[in-house]
Structure 1
């Protein structure tokens, strides 16, 4: 099954915000569902049929949650590891983690680390589910 890589990446972000999405195994079409607004397209009545649809995972299901943060801390901010581990032992961890990253001028490094890990995990998920990806158009050159 061929799927659009950019659309799949955006869909994982969408699902990671508490929404749902499925991929039709026959057509490769992705259906999005949210309780916050009307669905962009009609949600299939049989979306729970695993033979017809593949549920798009969120970042947590791709193991991109707390474990990834701790891996980043070990590799990139070893002196902050204990503090970051303590931050993630309580609610509201990501806001406090972001504040720490801002204080340490490490926010861009975190985003790069997270993006690389997300891409690896999503490509592995595609492979495990027999999906091949079609890359989107390259970004337009920046205006000078």
Structure 2
């Protein structure tokens, strides 16, 4: 089984989740080596030569974005349901407009729950990546 470092996979997930919907940021895990390759329309990959068949071979697996792993809005709502259920509708309303995460984190700070959110988010991220790796026959190591 090929191994991949948690830190590298987590950074790759952030990379593919960053930016506007039409921006092309992608990351691929080599199923032969565990090496992760990043591609983007907005960065120069001259530092590292990318395999020619990166986007077409079945030997590379695309790293999902946070929403594909349920780590976006759904994660926020799970947290709120557990920690501040009285604020659920208010938080849900935040996600109907831009700037939702800033308003969400501001509310958490006022409620004294921001550090709890960061711990919940980190553990959920690790768990989702571990599950994704297992489903794709990869071993995630610390």
1:97 pairs, out of 82, 95, 104, with: 104
Match of 1:15 in 2: 16
> Could you state the TM-score of these two structures normalised by the residue count of structure 1?
0.85
Match of 1:33 in 2: 39
**Residues 32 and 41 in structure 1, CA contact (< 8 A), matched pair in contact too:** no
Q: Which runs of 4+ in 1 moved over 3 A?
A: none
> Could you state the TM-score of these two structures normalised by the residue count of structure 2?
0.86
1:74, 1:46 → 2: CA distance? 44
The CA deviation at 1:44 is 2.7
Change in 2 beyond 3 A, CA 1:50/1:100: farther
The aligned length equals 135
1:50, 1:107 → 2: CA distance? 42
The CA deviation at 1:50 is 4.5
The CA deviation at 1:34 is 2.7
1:84 pairs, out of 87, 91, 107, with: 91
Structure 2 residue ranges without an equivalent (≥5): 20-24
Match of 1:48 in 2: 55
RMSD over aligned Cα atoms: 1.5
